[in-house]
Amino acid sequence: MNSLTSAVAAIVTDDAGRVLLCQQSQGHRRWGLPGGKVRENESPIHAVIRDVREEIGTDVEIIDLVGIYELHGQDLPDLVVHVFRCQDGRNEAVLNAPGRICRLSWQDTDDLPQPMTPTTRMAIAHAVAGRSGVLSRVERDPEPDYPDAGDSAEQASQEVVVGLAG
């Protein structure tokens, strides 16, 4: 087994049942959940509260743990992601980490944008089904055929906006 890193993510929903997604500002600009790496001596609960606040500028209420997902494959280090179900009753999310993410968007769960990280896809499916406490192994997607963010600086500069749909 290769080295293992712990991370957290939050399925943040609004009163309409939409989920908040973040589009990565680097690499292949995949859509994912707000979250990040668990720091040394930090619990996953504290990490998700801190990371969500850093990325979307607001505190959320943790409802429960959707699941723990082990992401592996593509010759990259394994990643264990704790995904929490959260509520944002104020709908005050704002782009707060433009170096890491370029857009935020509230999305209906039956009309999700692509490309999306495999953990995000699986965790949203589990959350929509009402599941909690899932333990799952997730295979990384192969590298996509489309260019990454570094290939189109002009396009990237035009898309650094907050996209709060709805």
Dump pLDDT digits (tens) for 115-133: 999 999 999 999 999 999 9
pTM: 0.81
Q: Is residue 165 part of a domain?
A: no
Cβ pair 41, 10 in contact under 8 A: no
Domain span at 152: 4-158
Q: Is residue 39 part of a domain?
A: yes
Q: Is residue 15 part of a domain?
A: yes
pLDDT at res. 125: 97
The CATH number linked to 59 is: 3.90.79.10
Q: Is residue 78 part of a domain?
A: yes
Query: Which residues does the chain have with pLDDT short of 50?
Result: 1-2, 149-166
pLDDT at res. 90: 67
d(CA 162, CA 114): 17
Neighbouring C-beta atoms of residue 17, cutoff 10 Å: 10
Q: Is residue 51 part of a domain?
A: yes
Tell me, what amino acid is at 56?
Answer: I
Q: How many domains does the chain have?
A: 1
Q: Is residue 166 part of a domain?
A: no
Task: Find residue 137's DSSP bridge partners.
Answer: 70
Q: Is residue 113 part of a domain?
A: yes
Q: Is residue 164 part of a domain?
A: no
Q: Calculate ∠ Cα 104-29-87, nearest 5°.
A: 30
> Which three-class secondary structure state does DSSP give residue 149?
helix
